[in-house]
């Protein structure tokens, strides 16, 4: 593959623009200094990728950064300095080190893209996580439920749970587990995920950051923004009352709420599939065989 060369002014401009965009996306999280926010802080707690790493720009494979040999980037893990003073990702070495992850992610994203988006789950995974819990046991105990505990349980009992994502399903309460149509497993993840699933869409960000530094900065931040937007819908459709935080509820217990949720799901499935294709294109440029 022929390398693309970026002059020092060009790549420094991209680096600065990436850092500025990352700062805009993380400023509220950093300002809270440990205070919890059920929507805006979720991506940092759950995916464990700190703002400082999100801020670091990577050009991706096949790009040479001119006149970077004396810059700090030259010492970063996964990079090599060329004889002419340029710096490039050592894609062969990084790919060899991440071979297991690359193989899994490639299989998962490819399989997910072959499936239609299912939009009939209505975000009931969050309801299943509080089903028949006693007061004080709910995950976001600082925020009240929109309905009474009895009414909340009735919403679960009046629907068929159809969660296909293991990392959502594993947080179901014991009473909710047998109500799910299937029993997702970690081992079956490649065969179970589908693009309409909100958690699968958020996980595109997880795969992007786990493949750092192979993934270009714009792909990483686009995946982060997608995950952030999905998390907003996730909590709007949840049983929690987050009006005081500025999130109007999507009442999935009503026909109108179901319709609103499914429409948002379809839009997110298109965005997540676009990012899956972009990640797969990155992996196609990496030699691991």
What does the alpha-carbon distance between residue 216 and residue 113 come to, in Å, rounded to a whole number?
Answer: 21
pTM: 0.94
pLDDT in the model for residue 289: 46
End-to-end CA distance of the chain: 15
Model pLDDT for residues 156-189, shown as the tens digit of each residue: 999 999 999 999 999 999 999 999 999 999 999 9
pLDDT band at 1 (very low <50, low <70, confident <90, very high): low
> Domain-by-domain residue ranges, the chain?
4-97, 105-284
What does the alpha-carbon distance between residue 280 and residue 219 come to, in Å, rounded to a whole number?
Answer: 11
Count the neighbouring beta carbons within 10 Å of the beta carbon of residue 150.
8
Q: CA–CA distance from 33 to each of 26, 46, 98, 164 (Å)?
A: 12, 17, 33, 34
Higher model confidence: residue 49 or residue 287?
49
Model pLDDT for residues 127-142, shown as the tens digit of each residue: 999 999 987 776 767 7
Determine the Cα angle at 266 with ends 230 and 162, to 5°.
80
What does the alpha-carbon distance between residue 245 and residue 155 come to, in Å, rounded to a whole number?
Answer: 24
pLDDT in the model for residue 143: 87
Contacts of 30 (CB under 8 A, 6+ apart): 51
- List the single range of 48-57, 130-139, 188-197 with lowest mean pLDDT: 130-139
Q: What is the dihedral of CA 130, 134, 138, 142, to 10 degrees?
A: 140
Model pLDDT for residues 211-235, shown as the tens digit of each residue: 999 999 999 999 999 999 999 999 9
């Amino acid at each position: 593959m022929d390398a693309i060369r970026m002059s020092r002014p060009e790549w420094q401009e991209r680096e600065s623009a990436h850092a500025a965009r990352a700062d805009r996306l993380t400023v509220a999280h950093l300002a809270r200094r440990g205070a919890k926010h059920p929507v805006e802080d979720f991506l940092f707690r759950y995916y464990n990728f700190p703002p400082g790493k999100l801020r670091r720009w990577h050009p991706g494979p096949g790009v040479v950064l001119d006149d970077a040999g004396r810059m700090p980037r030259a010492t970063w893990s996964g990079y090599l300095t060329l004889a002419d003073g340029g710096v490039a990702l050592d894609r062969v070495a990084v790919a060899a080190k991440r071979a297991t992850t690359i193989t899994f992610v490639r299989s998962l994203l490819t399989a997910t893209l072959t499936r239609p988006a299912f939009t009939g789950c209505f975000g009931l995974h969050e309801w299943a996580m509080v089903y028949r819990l006693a007061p004080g046991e709910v995950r976001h105990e600082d925020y009240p439920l929109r309905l009474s505990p009895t009414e909340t349980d009735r919403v679960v009992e009046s629907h068929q749970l159809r969660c296909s994502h293991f990392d959502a399903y594993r947080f179901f309460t014991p009473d909710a587990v047998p109500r799910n149509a299937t029993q997702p497993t970690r081992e079956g993840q490649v065969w179970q995920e589908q693009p309409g699933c909100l958690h699968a869409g958020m996980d595109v960000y997880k795969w992007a950051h786990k493949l750092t530094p192979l993934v270009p900065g714009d792909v990483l931040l686009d995946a982060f923004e997608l995950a952030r937007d999905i998390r907003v819908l996730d909590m709007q459709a949840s049983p929690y009352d987050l009006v005081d935080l500025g999130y109007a509820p999507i009442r999935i217990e009503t026909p109108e709420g179901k319709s609103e949720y499914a429409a948002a799901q379809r839009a997110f499935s298109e965005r997540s599939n676009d990012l899956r294709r972009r990640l797969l294109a990155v992996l196609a440029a990496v030699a691991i065989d």
